[in-house]
Amino acid sequence: MPKDLADWHAAVGGFVARPRFEEYSQKYAEHFVMTREDGILELRMHTDGGPAQFGFAVHNAWGQAWQEIGNDPDNEVLILTGTGDQWIATDNLAPQDRDLGEMMPPALPPDFAYEHTYYDAIKLLENMVFGIDIPTIAALNGPSPAHTEFALLCDITLAADHATILDPHFPSGVVPGDGLQLTLQEALGTKRAAYYLYTAAPIDAPTALELGLVNEVLPLADLLPRAWEIARTIARQPRAARRFTHAVAQRPWKRRLVQDLGFGLAHEMAGISADRRFG
């Protein structure tokens, strides 16, 4: 926060404290490594120091982290990336996350489906798009079995040359409705998106660049340095200009989420329920 404004808050009193980096960086340390330099926040997903493993716990943490990061006025640019050479690990899912159909009825609490399937899925996208008001850069550092929508929702998306983007839902008998589908529809158009939703064909980095899903493709070693280079260039501009430009860049995503996120997720859950996977 600009010092003169912070000093004024302190003088007049009554303002509620905003989140502090020192606190939330530790709060989410199990899922993210956070570093900040001159207002540029690098958020690196991880599990035990290696590539992030998808699971219900990190699914829950994502949306909460976006909210606190967005509410910290000392954050000026966000770089989002993964660990190693994978965005999210392509193997070794946590055992409880491998077969939702078997696990849902007896082993999980009655409110699990709403709290950790529907609510978390809504908030992890809503809080990113509506709750983060600073320029965002994704450094898509490799392939992922899902959830590359975060990278696509960022203002600028850089991809490692071995990265892939895919939506895995339909070949598994699940409706593609929890986020990636709407980023593909917005960025690719109706026909191209439908093809990738039905086939789950991986979109490699050069194709993603050609289709307009990413802005640059680089060797992995050059990915984060390039993200920081762009972030520093953005950070040199006036604070209001940075934040209002982000608002302009995010406007189409906000419209798309309002129109389609709840619709898509409700249909995904309805399809699972109709297949009796959740009892």
What share of the chain in percent tops pLDDT 90?
68
Secondary structure element (H or E) that encloses residue 118, with its range:
none
Residue type present at position 206: P
Average pLDDT over residues 130-145: 96
pTM, 2 dp = 0.91
Spatial separation of the C-alpha atoms in residues 99 and 96, rounded to whole Å: 7
Average pLDDT over residues 186-212: 96
pLDDT at 214 over 80: yes
Phi then psi for residue 130, to 5 deg, are -95, -20
Choosing from 149, 210, 216, 229, the catalytic residue is 149
DSSP secondary structure letters along 166-194: ---TGGGT----SSHHHHHHHHH-HHHHH
What are residue 33's DSSP bridge partners? 44
Q: Tell me what pLDDT residue 279 has.
A: 43
pLDDT at 92 over 60: no
pLDDT at 94 over 80: no
CA 38, 43, 47, 50 torsion-angle sign: negative
> Counting Cβ atoms within 10 Å, is residue 58 exposed (0-12), middle (13-18) or buried (19+)?
buried
pLDDT at 95 over 50: no
Q: Tell me what pLDDT residue 98 has.
A: 40
Spatial separation of the C-alpha atoms in residues 236 and 198, rounded to whole Å: 43
Confirm whether 149 is a catalytic residue: yes
Average pLDDT over residues 14-43: 94
H runs (alpha helix) in the chain: 3-12, 21-27, 56-70, 100-107, 112, 120-131, 149-153, 180-188, 190-199, 205-211, 220-235, 239-274
CA distances (Å), 34 to each of 75, 103, 120, 253, in order? 12, 33, 21, 25
